[in-house]
Chain A
């Protein structure tokens, strides 16, 4: 069983939703970013999304855009992002790692080579924002061969007729984009995703995560009442940014403040179903 499937099976037995946390690799620097990554599981993250920095993140709001800029300035490349996952795996064999980003750096690396190196580095799944189902044959044979889950995004604009098309070839979990918009700019409406998630559920047995627009422990709790996981990204980065100095350098509070929010989010999720 894959790490992602094992994680969701364990949480299902415990009747608990999953907390999926996001960080941009190398933001604001390699050491701080690795320290946050290593600290996230103990703080309560069940699955971690690692952002692969890209110059032109078209689906991201200002927070993740700025994170990508800091990361690139700090020397991030796709190869170094994979190396960071390898470093993480030295001390953690169970927490699933999902890489999230855009196609061009992967295309430039070589799709086959990237999937091979991702597997070797201990990556469990991929989310490639600008690779819709219609173009996914580019990567699917390679990701399947290297046991990488190919996680698809479902948007509020995806109608029911299209759902089977998008879900065909999906694995790991389904990522429900809970707002029409870019990351970190709107708050997800619980009524809306409350209606949408059961519809998606009719077409898949995979766990469903809600992301884009989940920021607080309360919102994360709402998300796991409707779905199986909540993804939090921009809120963690915003918290980190508050600790940076005027040159964007990490301070003494940088790692601990991010992990403190992870802990609060985890508490929110743990209380969600018992309080419901």
Chain B
């Protein structure tokens, strides 16, 4: 593995990393090891290069950071608190469990961190129209929100299946003034929404900014989204030191595309004492076809602009992911996760729909926090490992979103009609 000059890599202004740092990627071709890259049609290529250049200027620009920081503080409500989940800790009887409360952000999830960063960039680039894809609707709501705030027209592509199961978020987006376009191709989920957003972008490339919601897509998106989400891990690190005087033994997060996990993990990559765990959607079980565990059950390929682990058949045709959580059923994953998986820095484990449902209820009742189904996957894994750990050990979980959007899905699975 080669390491590159931190000036060209993921470092923030003025920040430098040690020579053996895991935080310096991607390289100048947008790659993390063999993963990432820029696999897009020529029509988009000039814009991707323009975006990369604009981002590189913005991230070195003090005024960009100042404006973003102010929005994060006064509009989002950052820093998000660190919460000691005492009752859950007692219930599980092992390691101390802390929540990074990203669900308390404005719009109810971590997605807003990235949306604000990108909308400032879109404005700098003179773009006048914003498009986005969404699965569970959290990114769609966050995008619609920043578009309302900045007065830009917004079109959100959402799989028709997801439109059905995430009605509250669909209505939220419309209230915020966005146009929601249901996508009926394929299984009508996040993958298809992303295809359709890319098609829109190709057709409207001159005035349109594509606001990708996760750490996937062509370079520079995986890097850029990670950088905007890294505030989660930076804050959590300082908050842990303040609360416990040390870093956690385990940091854990759910992984669909992987933006909340990358935001938590990236500032911790060079802390070897911290074990990092990403939790994938195991659906009905990874020994069935109905799951969305790209790393556990997939193999490397190229989709949506990057090389990464994908759920695919022998012929390289992409399979549909399945998860109870609309935010996780994507057949791919961010390329940096693929790299971290291959080098073994992060452990990725699957959790089934049913395990997530149980954790969803446990968290609601033990902590008075209804978590998003995405985070319930990470919580389910915490219920497995915490009892095995010492009471002096610490788990830090990224509670990336609130579960209000999921109550209809959960009710249906519990046999309750609302």
Q: A55-B186, A130-B302, A185-B203 are in contact. Are A109 and B42 (CB under 8 A)?
A: no
Stretch of A5-13, A174-182, A187-195, A254-262 contacting B (4+ beta carbons < 8 Å): A174-182
Report which of A54, A65, A162 forms a contact with B317, defined as CB distance below 8 A. Answer: A54
Within 8 A of B (CB), among A65-81: 65, 72, 77-79
Q: Does B287 contact A (CB under 8 A)?
A: no
Q: Does A112 contact B (CB under 8 A)?
A: no
Evaluate contact between B202 and A181: CB separation under 8 angstroms.
yes
Query: How far is it, in angstroms, between the C-alpha of A34 and the C-alpha of B218 when the chains are bound?
Result: 36
Interface string of A86-110 (1 = CB under 8 A from B): 0000000000000000011111110
Evaluate contact between A132 and B42: CB separation under 8 angstroms.
yes
Interface string of B56-85 (1 = CB under 8 A from A): 000000000000000000000000000000
B198: A residues at CB distance < 8 A: 58
Q: A131-B39, A154-B42 are in contact. Are A58 and B195 (CB under 8 A)?
A: yes
Q: Does A215 contact B (CB under 8 A)?
A: no
**Consensus secondary structure, chain A interface:** loop
B191: A residues at CB distance < 8 A: 56
B202: A residues at CB distance < 8 A: 58-59, 180-182
How many residues on the B side are at the interface (Cβ–Cβ under 8 A)?
35
Quick one: which of A133, A134, A152, A166 has the most chain B CB within 10 A? A134
Evaluate contact between A177 and B301: CB separation under 8 angstroms.
no
Q: Does B54 contact A (CB under 8 A)?
A: no
Evaluate contact between B42 and A108: CB separation under 8 angstroms.
no
Interface string of B195-223 (1 = CB under 8 A from A): 10011001111100000000000000000
Evaluate contact between A177 and B38: CB separation under 8 angstroms.
no
Closest to B192 in A: A56
Query: How far is it, in angstroms, between the C-alpha of A185 and the C-alpha of B199 when the chains are bound?
Result: 11
Interface string of A130-144 (1 = CB under 8 A from B): 111111000000000
Q: Does A157 contact B (CB under 8 A)?
A: yes
Q: Does B244 contact A (CB under 8 A)?
A: no
Query: How far is it, in angstroms, between the C-alpha of A157 and the C-alpha of B304 when the chains are bound?
Result: 20
Within 8 A of B (CB), among A147-177: 152-159, 162, 166, 177
Query: How far is it, in angstroms, between the C-alpha of A166 and the C-alpha of B199 when the chains are bound?
Result: 21
Query: How far is it, in angstroms, between the C-alpha of A180 and the C-alpha of B233 when the chains are bound?
Result: 40
Q: Would you give the shortest CB distance from A175 to chain B, in whole angstroms?
A: 9
Q: A58-B198, A182-B202 are in contact. Are A156 and B316 (CB under 8 A)?
A: no
Evaluate contact between B316 and A129: CB separation under 8 angstroms.
no
Closest to B37 in A: A135
Evaluate contact between B185 and A105: CB separation under 8 angstroms.
no
Evaluate contact between B302 and A103: CB separation under 8 angstroms.
yes
Report which of B205, B303, B315 forms a contact with A180, defined as CB distance below 8 A. Answer: B205
Closest to B318 in A: A55
Q: Would you give the shortest CB distance from A100 to chain B, in whole angstroms?
A: 12
Q: Does B43 contact A (CB under 8 A)?
A: yes
Closest to B46 in A: A157
B185: A residues at CB distance < 8 A: 65
Q: Would you give the shortest CB distance from A272 to chain B, in whole angstroms?
A: 27
Query: How far is it, in angstroms, between the C-alpha of A57 and the C-alpha of B41 when the chains are bound?
Result: 11
Q: Does B288 contact A (CB under 8 A)?
A: no
Q: A104-B312, A108-B315, A132-B38 are in contact. Are A177 and B43 (CB under 8 A)?
A: yes
Query: How far is it, in angstroms, between the C-alpha of A107 and the C-alpha of B310 when the chains are bound?
Result: 12
B269: A residues at CB distance < 8 A: none
Evaluate contact between A108 and B47: CB separation under 8 angstroms.
no
A129: B residues at CB distance < 8 A: 41
Interface string of A35-55 (1 = CB under 8 A from B): 000000000000000000011
Quick one: which of A109, A135, A154, A177 has the most chain B CB within 10 A? A135
Closest to B39 in A: A130
Q: A182-B202, A185-B203 are in contact. Are A157 and B318 (CB under 8 A)?
A: no
A61: B residues at CB distance < 8 A: 199
Interface string of B295-328 (1 = CB under 8 A from A): 0000001111100001010111110000000000
Q: Does B53 contact A (CB under 8 A)?
A: no
B304: A residues at CB distance < 8 A: 56, 58
Report which of B38, B205, B316, B317 forms a contact with A134, defined as CB distance below 8 A. Answer: B38
Q: A55-B317, A180-B205 are in contact. Are A152 and B302 (CB under 8 A)?
A: no
Q: Would you give the shortest CB distance from A5 to chain B, in whole angstroms?
A: 23
Within 8 A of A (CB), among B25-54: 29, 37-47
Closest to A105 in B: B316
A131: B residues at CB distance < 8 A: 39
Evaluate contact between B303 and A104: CB separation under 8 angstroms.
yes
Closest to B315 in A: A77
Closest to A161 in B: B46
Query: How far is it, in angstroms, between the C-alpha of A166 and the C-alpha of B310 when the chains are bound?
Result: 28
Evaluate contact between B39 and A155: CB separation under 8 angstroms.
no
Q: A130-B302, A181-B203 are in contact. Are A104 and B318 (CB under 8 A)?
A: yes
A153: B residues at CB distance < 8 A: 41-43
Query: How far is it, in angstroms, between the C-alpha of A107 and the C-alpha of B315 when the chains are bound?
Result: 9
Report which of B38, B47, B301, B305 forms a contact with A107, defined as CB distance below 8 A. Answer: B301
Q: A105-B315, A157-B47 are in contact. Are A58 and B41 (CB under 8 A)?
A: yes
Residues in A lying within 8 Å of B, measured CB to CB: 54-59, 61, 65, 72, 77-79, 103-109, 129-135, 152-159, 162, 166, 177, 180-182, 185-186
Known: A104-B310, A157-B46, A159-B46. 10 other contacts (CB 8 A): A55-B317, A55-B318, A77-B315, A108-B312, A132-B41, A157-B205, A157-B206, A158-B46, A180-B204, A181-B43
**Contact sample, A vs B, 7 pairs, CB 8 Å cutoff:** A56-B195, A103-B302, A105-B316, A105-B317, A130-B39, A130-B40, A157-B205
Chain A to chain B: the 6 pairs with minimum beta-carbon distance, closest first: A108-B316, A105-B316, A181-B203, A155-B43, A77-B315, A153-B42
